[in-house]
Amino acid sequence: MKLHKEGKRILTGSLIVIFIISFFSVRYLHAWSLLVIIPLIVLYGFMLWFFRVPNRTILDYHEHVIAPVDGKVVMIKEVFEEEVLKEKCIQVSIFMSPLNVHICRYPVSGKVTYKKYHPGKYLVAWHEKSSTENERTTMAVNSLTGQTVVFRQIAGYVARRIVFYGEVGDTARAGHEYGFIKFGSRMDIFLPLDTEITAKIGDKTKGGLDIIGRMKVS
């Protein structure tokens, strides 16, 4: 199983801590040491699962909007996006549990035109205000259809680390990685009002594979 680079330091440090705790548990607790060691092994197994990198074949897309993360669609509504677009648009929100793959992918292909990090709170990720009040990042891509798409990584109650690699001027390829969020979070995508949304609330998505919408060519 391939592991994400963002997990290497955490996994290495955790393994050292587990080894030290296990050593002293065996030395001083003897048979009772299993009560300490087994939960630590289970926890480490969860961490390995969290940082897994699935093997996925990403196709080339033009007008399609691709699910940027693994998770569950929790919101589809018309909103006013005030940071970049400054106009009404359709917001699609996908919630990621700690069991989902947390690789973040570009939802559309085009050119990166905006990037900003916002410090903030740590409300539960499904809270509607988390989109504007939580720690988050915002990126925008001028898509191949000639329209601007905004997408936002949002830290949740558990997530405390957001990483995004894309830079203004980069070429965005739908379905390909641009960032990572550690331990539970949400992704918001802001699309033009005339976008055909094919996803439904409650849908389970696989990042880079599932089509959640189709944009009109301008």
Catalytic: which of 33, 109, 185, 218? 185
Residues 106, 111, 117: CA angle, nearest 5 degrees = 65
Active site residue 97: no
What one-character-per-residue DSSP string does the chain give? --B-GGGHHHHHHHHHHHHHHHHHHHHHHGGGGHHHHHHHHHHHHHHHHHTB-----PPP-SSEEE--SSEEEEEEEEEEETTTT-EEEEEEEEEE-TTS--EEE-SS-EEEEEEEEE--B---TTSTTHHHHBSEEEEEEEETTS-EEEEEEEE-SS--EEEE---TTPEE-TTSEEEEEESSEEEEEEE-TT-EE---TT-EE-TTT-EEEEPPP-
The phi and psi torsions of 16 (rounded to 5 degrees) equal: -65, -45
Q: Which residue numbers are catalytic?
A: 185
